């Protein structure tokens, strides 16, 4: 049988829990601005973009551009390099399998992030075992399509967002 005391106790417990819950929510609301202030600010987030004149990059050469604080690689690939990249589409040592044609809009232009997916170093051009890039920090080898082939990096060099404005100009971002 429910007595008067039981009702009082139940009501008191409810009040305890409700007060505690409100306190937790309030504390969370107070702490969130302190945490979120560390996230990228609006001026950093405001998407900047850069335009690149491709005429300055001869075939078989790469150029590096700074975009949002990070390097972007633009490589003008030779037909042999494109053939090598496509031939490796089904290579068994692809750690993060991806086809070369899915990584380029135009096969002669490979445009991707220049940040090693392991710990963020800048890989060196035309080095390593696969004719692509080699990260000197911890020994990751990328092929001529920017795919990780050997070493500790888990992912291919990411393709950045870009559009061809015309045949010789590309906009990154």
Partner 1 sequence: MASDKKFEPTNPTVKWVEDRLPIFGLLYSSLGAGYNAPRNLNYWWNFGVLAGFMLVVQIVTGIVLVMHYVPDVNLAFDSVQHIRRDVNYGWLLQAVHANGASMFFIVVYIHILRGFYFGSYKAPREILWFLGIIIYLLMMATGFMGYVLPWGQMSFWGAKVITNLFGAFDFIPFIGDGIVEWLWGGFAVGQPTLNRFFSLHYLLPFVLVGVVILHIWALHIPGSTNPLGIDANGPYDKIPFHPYYTAKDAFGLGVFIIFFAAFVFYIPDFLGHPDNYIKANPLVTPEHIVPEWYYLPFYAILRAIPDKLLGVVAMFSSILILFAMPWLDGSRVRSMRFRPLSKFFFWLFVVNGIFLGYLGQRSPDDVLALGVTALVYAQFATTFYFAYFLVIMPLVSRMETTKPVPTSIAAAVLEANKKG
User: Taking contact as CB under 8 A, which single stretch among the options 15-23, 54-62, 104-112, 137-145 is the one that binds partner 1?
Assistant: 137-145
Instruction: Rule CB under 8 A: say whether 44 interacts with partner 1.
Output: yes
Site string for partner 1, 101-130 (x = CB under 8 A): --------------x--xxxxx-x------
Active site residue 141: no
DSSP secondary structure letter of residue 4: H
CA 110/CA 147 separation, integer angstroms: 11
Q: Of residues 33, 69, 166, 167, which one binds partner 1 by CB under 8 A?
A: 69
In this structure, the strands spanning 140-143 and 70-76 are unpaired
Instruction: Rule CB under 8 A: say whether 79 interacts with partner 1.
Output: no
Q: Of residues 33, 40, 58, 92, which one binds partner 1 by CB under 8 A?
A: 40
Q: Of residues 106, 138, 161, 163, which one binds partner 1 by CB under 8 A?
A: 138
Q: How many CB atoms neighbour CB 159 within 10 A?
A: 16
User: Taking contact as CB under 8 A, which single stretch among the options 40-48, 79-87, 103-111, 156-164 is the one that binds partner 1?
Assistant: 40-48
DSSP secondary structure letter of residue 160: P
Least separation in angstroms between residue 71's CB and partner 1 is 5
Instruction: Rule CB under 8 A: say whether 34 interacts with partner 1.
Output: no
Radius of gyration of the chain (CA): 26
CA 173/CA 170 separation, integer angstroms: 10
Instruction: Rule CB under 8 A: say whether 39 interacts with partner 1.
Output: yes
Instruction: Rule CB under 8 A: say whether 46 interacts with partner 1.
Output: no
In this structure, the strands spanning 109-113 and 70-76 are antiparallel
Residues in the chain, total: 173
CA 28/CA 134 separation, integer angstroms: 45
Q: Which residues are identified as catalytic?
A: 138
């Amino acid at each position: 049988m429910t007595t008067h005391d039981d009702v009082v106790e139940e009501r008191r417990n409810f009040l305890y829990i409700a007060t505690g819950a409100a306190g937790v929510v309030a504390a969370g609301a107070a702490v969130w601005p302190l945490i979120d202030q560390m996230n990228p600010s609006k001026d950093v987030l405001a998407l900047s973009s850069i335009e690149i004149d491709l005429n300055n990059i001869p075939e078989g050469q790469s150029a590096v551009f700074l975009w949002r604080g990070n390097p972007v690689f633009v490589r003008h690939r030779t037909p042999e390099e494109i053939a090598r990249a496509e031939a490796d589409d089904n290579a068994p040592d692809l750690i993060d399998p991806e086809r070369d044609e899915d990584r380029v809009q135009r096969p002669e232009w490979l445009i991707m992030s220049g940040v090693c997916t392991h710990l963020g170093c800048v890989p060196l051009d035309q080095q390593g075992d696969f004719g692509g890039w080699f990260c000197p920090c911890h020994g990751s080898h990328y092929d001529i399509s920017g795919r990780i082939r050997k070493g500790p990096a888990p992912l291919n060099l990411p393709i950045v967002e870009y559009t061809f404005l015309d045949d010789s100009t590309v906009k990154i971002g």
